[in-house]
Structure 1
Amino acid sequence: MKITAILSALAAATLVSAGKFHLPKDNTVELQPHGYIIQYQDNISRANAHSNLKKHAIDYKVRNEYDVFNGAAITVKSDHDGEAIASVPGVKHVWRIQRYSLPKTTSNGGGKVDEENSVHHMTGVDAVHKKLKLTGKGVKVGIVDSGIDYKHPAFAAAGATEGCFARYGKNCRVKHGWDFVGDAYTSFNTPIPDGDPMDCRGHGTHVAGIVGGNASNIKVGPTPLVPWIGVAPDVTFGAYRIFGCEGFTSTDVILAAMEMAFNDGMDIINMSLGGGSAYKENPTSILADKLVSFGMNVAGAAGNDGSEGVWMVSDTGLGETSTSVASFDNAYGAYYTVSYAGGKYPYNFSSAWGKAIDLPASATLFPLFDKAGVLLDGCDVNTYKDLDVKGKVVLVLGDYSKCGSFARGEVAKSVGAAGILAATTPFGMTNLAGAPGLPMASIENRAGQAILAAYKKNPKNVLTWAKGPSSVRVEGGGAPAEMSSYGLDGDLRSKPDIAAPGGNIYGAYPRSKGSYALLSGTSMATPYYVGSQALYYEKTKTKPSGPDVRRVFKNTATISKNFQSKTFTSAAKQGAGLINVWNALTTTTHASPDRFDLLDSDNFRGVQKITIKNSGKKTETYTLSHVPADALNSYSKGNAWPHPKPIIEADYATVKFSSNKVKIPAGKSVKVTITFTEPKVGDAKQFPIYSGYVVATPSREDSPAVHVPYIGLKGKVRDVPIMDSDLGLPMAGVRKENGDIEEIPKDFVFNFKDAAPAVVVRFASHTPNFTIRIHDAKTDKFLGYVVSGSDIALGAMGRMTNLNDGKYSSATFSWRGLVLQTADLTSKPVQLGAGSYKIFVASQRKLTKGAYPADYEIFDMGIFNVSA
């Protein structure tokens, strides 16, 4: 369906109900000055909306107009703010324009992955290529990213040995696209769009290569170290460039790119973008759901915030029908290696060193261990006392709880060490910042232990550094990636939906940047899932609905375990599991819905129904069973801020079926009632998130089982801490004229000019409605909600990351006397004068109706005396 068809359904009308202004998530989110996204009421036409804005004297400049989204992006030139825009008749939602970054990916400088050890073995894509001969031909995939190097030979048409010479020309598989921003765009300047989506950053080219690059027959230009092939090597691409060569992009640009991809007839959109945690009522998720309802499929990266703990899945894939994709590490990766005592070990060099390590044999190994023979971390210079490490490579334990890689690198330099090898704990390799001028690298935990044991047997062994990368089996490979973000969202919905390989993925890179690279992130997992969908589209020879495709892949995914674990990983980490493309394309069984959200103890949805459909040609008997997964405890010590690494517990739900076996004729469906009982173990006051999988196994051995994930929270989610009281927040201070916030002196009298009250907050989890309320100190009468600059303290907020640029993340609201008197935004802000006021920070508890004060977490900030 095209734009014109959709517009015919949008009849002009004028409504008087007020819209809703959504607060920015926190002050770590960059915002466009005076920039707003507006969504109109469903039956409001563009002309009527603009007329209403002008009638309310709002002076603005249009940045972008949206048809499917039914709205616009504007820059406001008058002094009107978000709540003023939301009060205009016909306006449904208003958001500040947010800046988005490309997610941080990791790289060890490139290398090769042997064909026999390809990532496609993990997912069954190799079998689909060989046995089903599917390549994604005829399927259109839109890459909303940094562009594509469309002249790269990996994107040449089938049979061609070199890339295209002109944009969208001969041999090109990139047939559509647009540059929305220009090379110089950073989001802090004006976009200069044109028709050339050439990639100058690399991210979009790598993403496109995973979807459908083909480097199996390249004969000109830089060639890969080993031939490789993307998931769907014959797809047609649309390149929608939303990033310049540096910097950020913004919400208004992303929406414009999504709509153009739709209008160009893309079947699937890939959005490997970096957002923050939020509710699904954000512009990209709303538009994604609309596009899916009109026949597209949209996938977004779940985010790379696994080190932050729960509640951190990224906002791009939070739509009800779009897909949020988590990441697994590739079982094999390309790394430089160091050999010692007959063993060959991969290493990941520090970003400060930035290249392969090439030390002479005279730089021998010196493990830094205590009297018990246990490796030390190397943070304390005193541990080197009376030890001769000059010119030697020090082996230390990679535990960074005491100091970082820079600090221990500086210590090693001060005692004359030639380099450092840090054995990661508990496993795998990590990314080190390192110390300038010092060869420094992370090695796997098993490598560190093996090297230490070999040294104790023969200290005279020497280190040998390989000149180039090679393919190695990666410790932790084939399991959920540590960096992949945990769910849930603020409504306890099961996100992420599914996982795909995203760690150690070798593929295309712009020719100007070396042509090939090995990167890691959910940015890489998302296109793997998108390419797999393209294979499904080709096989079915139809354009199935987005929810149907997502369900098939979730039904047939491989339920997986963490590395070296005997239990299954939480659905809050892996979703339905690792994508199994062969099973998805060959299954004749379907189960719906594709998830069970059990919610919490107060709102427990313990009785559910599963529909099992037999699409095969013969009657089939299915056995129903339950596979429990790890429960995640983030509040075991009564803490307000979630543990960065949730504690795994055996808190398992009990599952009973109305029938344990069902016989289903060909082409028919059967419904089975499932009764869930919350885990008997696990402390409800610590809010463990439990999960598992309902499995339907056919009697025929050649037919794969299908499953549906479930997830719930034991305890009352309304009691999950919202504010980070562990750090003493929220807190009140004095906002000085220079912007600094100071502690309030005893008996201090504020004023609204150069000594205004300020409130600092820090969100430990989501809230559907955050408010800062002003009351009269004498009568306790409610006077209004704080208006701080262009923002009002009123609206949904997602969880913050722990740190931002090395400092604790927080948001500050300065109050200079402006309040909004009603929550429906129909009133204008009013200025209060001198007086005595109470300030309350009140956050609505999750899954409540929002009755005040019963449904709010409230902090009384005290009485503030304000002079004229």
Structure 2
Amino acid sequence: MRFYISIFLTFVILSGFSAPPTPAAPEEEVTIIVELKEDTAPFISELKRRLPRLEVVAEYDTIFNGIAIRGTAEELEKLVRMDNVVNQYPVQTYRSLGEKPLSFTTEDIRNRIQSPYTGEGIKVGIIDTGIDYTHPDLEANYSGGFDTVDFDENPMETEGEGKTVHGTHVAGVIGANGEMEGIAPEAELFAYRALGPGGVGSSVQVIAALEEAVKQGMDVINLSLGNDVNGPDWPTTHAVNKAVELGVVVVVAAGNSGPDSWTVGSPATSSDAITVGASALSMKAPILKVPGERSKVAVQVLSGSQKWKLDKKYPIEYVGTGEKDLENVSGKIALFERGGIPFSQKALRAYKAGAKGVLIANNEKGMFYGGLDGLNLPIPVGAISQEAGKWLVEKAVQQNQWIETVQESLGDQVAPFSSRGPVTTSWEIKPDLLAPGVDIMSTVPGGYQALQGTSMAAPHVAGVAALMKEAHPDWNAEQVKNALTTSAQLIYNKETPFPPTQQGAGFIDVNKALDPEIVISAAPLSFGKADDTFFRKKLSFKVENLSDEPVQLQMERPKSENGESWTVPMTMEIPPGKSEEADVELRLNNAFLEEGIHEGYLTLKGDTDYQLPYVYVKERSDYNKVSGFELTQNWNDEKGGMYRFHLAEQVEKVTIDLYRSGTLLNIGTIAEIDQPRPGMIEGGAGLKNLDLKGAYLAVVTVNSNEGSDSYSFPVYIEGE
């Protein structure tokens, strides 16, 4: 009996007093908090009488009834046996949670740079929505600018209605110097506000901003903006080419209209600019699985949303466009259809109804990319394709199946939204290279925010260009571009590189761009459009040896498609400080070639291998022949209006018809153009004697020997 009692008493001693995380020595004093049944005053009086060695540290009688008390473990053990003690707690150490330290891609890139350059003394112009130059990370480097929206010298971001953050975010990536450090943290930042409320501006404002930036002596200009005109013959593209001709390095975002080909727009179509696409660095992406099904659904998290990291299976409920009250979504994933109301309203309604997550399926073929307009919710919001939405309704909603989220590693990727080339009319490869453009944390008015897009990729390259101009002040814009593209590293889709019209020369390599061994010019190799049955074209490129040692290179003969043959140069031996030109000839027999885009890489082999992108287009392809249609009024003109659009190729005739929006009542033909040549087409539109006011649809019909194609463009006419 005595043995069992001993065991019981030992158990009480060990469990009755909760020791601190690090065991105390027998004579070491510790502090605990005890919770009491009754008021503290009588208990403290009794405590002083029975256990005088204990010290009362604090009393609690408002939101908690108890005391904090200090003493040895032996004395405290006597305390916790007293009748008035409900419970006892060790004193824990608490630290301020604060915010999780921010992670910046610019920091990752700067940590890899093996040189001392910071962009000091280099002027970088940012043509955008303006800059919050009072931001603590930007105020030291902000050096001036101009506002071509309000035409004053105060290029501040739009505040209030239509507020913007875009330009400040871009500026941070280039040259923040505070909690965040940009790629070129000591560059001089100049803001040129060409986009007003809502981030919208005109060609006139963009060109005026370029003019101001060139006049004020910018070394580098960043344009994270664009339109849908996939052609080189557009005013903003010409303006960019002129800026480069005058010695400025111009970096342009490719656009966010991917993943289809022919989606890069002006001014990213400029031959001379450095056009930047977006990459997603090696990362894990959320994938949805339905039990018993082999297919999977990829989720694209909306900008501003929480990351999609649901760690349990959830039921899913289809709720249409979400315009009606949501029912039966509590504890589920709400599946919306795109349209009806903004994404942010869909997400907010789902959250208020108790949803654990939100999926928005596209209402047309393919994927889409969007944001939550500053709405901050604790649940994730993701986009899926139209096809994936229909599949989830069939396999999960209708079958009452719960869906599971898994995270799959993607490796380095071309971001799906990144616009692709080639460029119509010039048939050139765009983008020129890639930079990080997914989940990019940077400065915004009032703090920091993660955004994504080629708008975020371009300033990474603009920052690197500033470092290069500091390192090589005698380099012109072409040399900077050639060094960047020569040194870029291809990224691969499993074992095959992504094609040139998706990644250009590859992902930016800062160290090699700053100190290249060789520089290749006249690459990529754009052979154009192969219209003739037997097509033959020779292109030249030049290799400059910047090293102190001779360089030997040999071009590997590419694997030819049916109907394709190549003549490539023999071994090239280039002494230090010298350059050598070489030719590549392509011969085609169109009878054996498939229609569309043909592209790949020619390899120059040496101690280091270099890849030269090439492209050519078989006569028929899936690009739009007409883009960028504009219709403006001019009642003083003989015809009453002017039209302007880009034509991708020579056609027999173009007809422009006007329809009233909604009813599609035909107003009439306002222009006919015979045998127009490719490029920008403009002329008078017959609006003079028509009683027009309101929304209309302009239908541009193109007739060629291949048939007829029509393109619709919404227009608004103010009326007289």
CA, structure 1 residues 111+676, in 2 after alignment: closer, same or farther (shift >3 Å)? farther
SS class of match (2:209): helix
CA, structure 1 residues 359+240, in 2 after alignment: closer, same or farther (shift >3 Å)? closer
Aligned match of 2:272: 321
CA shift at 1:209, angstroms? Answer: 0.7
CA, structure 1 residues 254+365, in 2 after alignment: closer, same or farther (shift >3 Å)? same
Task: Output the amino acid matched with 1:175.
Answer: S
Task: Say whether 1:196 aligns with 2:154.
Answer: yes
**How do 1:818-857 residues align onto structure 2 when only pairs under 5 Å count?**
843=702, 857=708
SS class of match (2:174): helix
Aligned match of 2:245: 293
Kept in 2: contact 1:769–1:843 (CA 8 A): no
Task: Say whether 1:674 aligns with 2:637.
Answer: no
CA distance in 1, matches of 2:662, 2:266: 18
Kept in 2: contact 1:591–1:706 (CA 8 A): no
TM-score (norm 2): 0.62
CA shift at 1:812, angstroms? Answer: 10
Task: Say whether 1:207 aligns with 2:170.
Answer: yes
CA, structure 1 residues 858+424, in 2 after alignment: closer, same or farther (shift >3 Å)? closer
Kept in 1: contact 2:547–2:577 (CA 8 A): yes
CA shift at 1:856, angstroms? Answer: 8.0
Return the index of the structure with the highest Cα Rg. 2
| Residue deviations 1:198-252 (CA, integer Å, cap 9, x gap) | 2232111111111111234xxxxxxxxxxx3211111011111123344622222
Task: Output the amino acid matched with 1:507.
Answer: S
Aligned match of 2:291: none
CA distance in 2, matches of 1:495, 1:133: 31
CA, structure 1 residues 422+627, in 2 after alignment: closer, same or farther (shift >3 Å)? farther
CA shift at 1:797, angstroms? Answer: 3.6
Task: Output the amino acid matched with 2:419.
Answer: S
For residue 332 of structure 2, the aligned residue among 384, 393, 408 is 393
CA shift at 1:790, angstroms? Answer: 0.9
For residue 146 of structure 2, the aligned residue among 178, 182, 188 is 178
CA shift at 1:657, angstroms? Answer: 2.0
Task: Say whether 1:516 aligns with 2:516.
Answer: no
CA, structure 1 residues 713+311, in 2 after alignment: closer, same or farther (shift >3 Å)? same
SS class of match (1:600): strand
For residue 126 of structure 1, the aligned residue among 90, 101, 111 is 111
For residue 274 of structure 1, the aligned residue among 209, 214, 226 is 226
CA, structure 1 residues 111+500, in 2 after alignment: closer, same or farther (shift >3 Å)? farther
CA, structure 1 residues 626+516, in 2 after alignment: closer, same or farther (shift >3 Å)? farther
Kept in 2: contact 1:628–1:692 (CA 8 A): no
CA distance in 2, matches of 1:580, 1:841: 44
Task: Output the amino acid matched with 1:765.
Answer: K
Task: Output the amino acid matched with 2:125.
Answer: G
Aligned match of 1:142: 125
For residue 381 of structure 2, the aligned residue among 433, 437, 441 is 441
CA distance in 1, matches of 2:517, 2:308: 55
CA distance in 2, matches of 1:677, 1:324: 29
CA, structure 1 residues 614+330, in 2 after alignment: closer, same or farther (shift >3 Å)? same
CA distance in 1, matches of 2:460, 2:126: 12
For residue 440 of structure 2, the aligned residue among 505, 508, 511 is 505
CA distance in 2, matches of 1:248, 1:653: 45
CA distance in 1, matches of 2:168, 2:611: 34
**Percent identical residues:** 24
- Over aligned residue pairs, what C-alpha RMSD do you find? 5.5
Task: Output the amino acid matched with 2:668.
Answer: W
Task: Say whether 1:480 aligns with 2:414.
Answer: yes
Kept in 1: contact 2:229–2:628 (CA 8 A): no
CA, structure 1 residues 809+247, in 2 after alignment: closer, same or farther (shift >3 Å)? farther
Task: Output the amino acid matched with 1:557.
Answer: A
SS class of match (1:478): strand
Task: Output the amino acid matched with 2:468.
Answer: Y
CA shift at 1:516, angstroms? Answer: 0.6
SS class of match (1:132): coil
CA, structure 1 residues 275+333, in 2 after alignment: closer, same or farther (shift >3 Å)? farther
CA, structure 1 residues 815+379, in 2 after alignment: closer, same or farther (shift >3 Å)? same
Kept in 2: contact 1:691–1:712 (CA 8 A): yes
Aligned match of 1:91: none
CA shift at 1:667, angstroms? Answer: 1.9
Kept in 1: contact 2:124–2:187 (CA 8 A): yes
Aligned match of 2:692: none
Unaligned runs of 5+ in 1: 1-109, 156-162, 164-171, 182-190, 217-227, 336-345, 369-376, 382-387, 449-454, 456-460, 465-471, 630-649, 723-763, 772-786, 800-806, 834-839, 846-853, 860-868
CA distance in 2, matches of 1:810, 1:667: 69
CA distance in 2, matches of 1:826, 1:670: 43
CA, structure 1 residues 576+436, in 2 after alignment: closer, same or farther (shift >3 Å)? closer
Aligned match of 2:614: 710
Aligned residue pair count: 544
CA distance in 2, matches of 1:133, 1:810: 64
Task: Say whether 1:577 aligns with 2:506.
Answer: yes
CA, structure 1 residues 179+438, in 2 after alignment: closer, same or farther (shift >3 Å)? closer
SS class of match (1:674): strand
CA, structure 1 residues 177+440, in 2 after alignment: closer, same or farther (shift >3 Å)? closer
Task: Say whether 1:257 aligns with 2:209.
Answer: yes
SS class of match (1:530): helix
CA shift at 1:625, angstroms? Answer: 2.9
CA shift at 1:664, angstroms? Answer: 1.9
Kept in 2: contact 1:113–1:332 (CA 8 A): no
CA shift at 1:328, angstroms? Answer: 0.9
CA distance in 2, matches of 1:312, 1:610: 27
| Residue deviations 1:651-702 (CA, integer Å, cap 9, x gap) | 996644231x322221222333323355999862xx3312122232332xxx
| Residue deviations 1:341-398 (CA, integer Å, cap 9, x gap) | xxxxx997768xx76599999xx74346xxxxxxxx94799xxxxxx977432497x9
CA shift at 1:710, angstroms? Answer: 0.7
CA distance in 1, matches of 2:663, 2:430: 25
Task: Say whether 1:697 aligns with 2:625.
Answer: no
CA shift at 1:409, angstroms? Answer: 7.6
| Residue deviations 1:437-465 (CA, integer Å, cap 9, x gap) | 995633999xx9xxxxxx9xxxxx9999x
CA distance in 2, matches of 1:531, 1:655: 38
Aligned match of 2:458: 526
Aligned match of 2:84: none
SS class of match (1:489): coil
Query: Which structure's relative contact order is higher, taking Cα pairs within 8 Å and 6+ residues apart?
Result: 1
| Residue deviations 1:16-63 (CA, integer Å, cap 9, x gap) | xxxxxxxxxxxxxxxxxxxxxxxxxxxxxxxxxxxxxxxxxxxxxxxx
CA shift at 1:568, angstroms? Answer: 1.3
CA shift at 1:566, angstroms? Answer: 2.9
Kept in 2: contact 1:302–1:314 (CA 8 A): yes
Task: Output the amino acid matched with 1:442.
Answer: G
CA distance in 1, matches of 2:557, 2:423: 24
CA distance in 1, matches of 2:310, 2:551: 66
| Residue deviations 1:286-320 (CA, integer Å, cap 9, x gap) | 1211121111121221110004x222111012222
CA distance in 2, matches of 1:233, 1:407: 35
For residue 791 of structure 1, the aligned residue among 618, 629, 642 is 642
**How do 1:582-593 residues align onto structure 2 when only pairs under 5 Å count?**
582-593=511-522
CA, structure 1 residues 829+321, in 2 after alignment: closer, same or farther (shift >3 Å)? closer
CA distance in 2, matches of 1:475, 1:203: 29
Kept in 2: contact 1:379–1:407 (CA 8 A): no
SS class of match (1:148): coil
CA distance in 2, matches of 1:560, 1:242: 34
| Residue deviations 1:139-171 (CA, integer Å, cap 9, x gap) | 10001111111221212xxxxxxx4xxxxxxxx
Kept in 1: contact 2:222–2:458 (CA 8 A): yes
| Residue deviations 1:118-156 (CA, integer Å, cap 9, x gap) | 4565xx64332xx2111111110001111111221212x
CA shift at 1:601, angstroms? Answer: 2.7
